[in-house]
Amino acid sequence: MSFFLGNFMNNMLKISLFLLLATLLVPAVSALTAEPPENSQVRKGRRLYNQYCIPCHGREGDGRGDRAKTERLDPAPRDHTNGSYMNMLPDMRLFMVIKFGGRAMNLSQIMPQWGHLLSDEEIVSVIRYVRTLADPPWQPGMAMCRCRLPQGGSGTAGQQNDQKQ
Ligand code: HEC
């Protein structure tokens, strides 16, 4: 009987040691696998984009959202997957368009302003997400030496997209 009890205690000890180790290890491992802040920013941006932007810009960001189709928006919402156009626009340009709307930046007023709804930080996270949509892929600093905006910021690129499709 005492042998049995001893064995039992021994096992309990092993189990509690194991549990202790596991509790210590779990936070360590999850710290290792935690996503870098950049990615959590992108995730937050995706959430906001899905909430506010896809009716026009589409789930894929290609400018073919439901509203774009049913309301035949003209100019078409910008194709955010078009890297050869989007990658030329500096972050600040995107920031201004999103915060103050198309009209404030000489684009179509169909592109609403979001400054009353989204904080600056939220707009930045949306931009981080929009950058992930570009093909060819966007790299930080890409737009830095392109000081002039592509000709026809007022929708020519949208027309080019239409021709492409
Ligand atoms: C009601 C439809 C609509 C919604 C909603 C909308 N957009 Fe737009 N957006 C447009 C249209 C249309 C254009 C193209 C304007 C033009 O070509 O003159 C545009 C253009 C843009 C551009 C291109 C700017 C440039 O310099 O070429 C960006 C970036 C953008 N939108 C981001 C967003 C983001 C981010 C959201 C969500 C927070 C959003 N849009 C929501 C219609 C919309």
pLDDT tens by residue, the chain, 165 residues: 566 667 877 888 888 888 887 777 776 766 666 666 669 999 999 999 999 999 999 999 999 999 999 999 999 999 999 999 999 999 999 999 999 999 999 999 999 999 999 999 999 999 999 999 999 999 988 876 545 545 554 444 434 444 333
| Paired tokens of 154 | 């007022």
Report how far ligand 1's centroid is from the alpha carbon of 142 (Å).
21
d(CA 16, CA 3): 20
Which residue ranges have their beta carbon within 6 Å of ligand 1? Answer: 52-53, 55-57, 67, 73, 75, 77-78, 89, 93-94, 97-98, 102, 107-108, 110-112, 114, 126, 130, 153-155, 158
- Rounded Cα–Cα distance for residues 133 and 109 (Å): 23
DSSP 76: P
Q: What is the pLDDT of residue 22?
A: 78
Token pair for 79: 């194709």
Query: Global pTM?
Result: 0.74
Q: How far is the CA of 53 from the centre of ligand 1 (A)?
A: 8
Report the pLDDT value the prediction gives residue 12, as an integer from 0 to 100. 81
Cα(144)–Cα(115) distance, rounded to whole angstroms? 24
Which atom belonging to ligand 1 lies closest to the Cα atom of 110? 12
CB 112 within 8 A of CB 56: no
pLDDT digits (tens, 9 = 90+) for 82-99: 999 999 999 999 999 999
Ligand 1 centroid from CA 12, angstroms: 63
What are 100's two structure tokens? 């103050």
What's the confidence (pLDDT) of residue 152?
Answer: 52
What is the reported pLDDT for 3?
Answer: 65
Ligand 1 centroid to Cα of residue 104, in Å, is 12
- pLDDT of 32: 66
Closest residue by Cα to atom 11, ligand 1, is 77
Boundaries of every domain in the chain = 1-28, 51-147+157-164
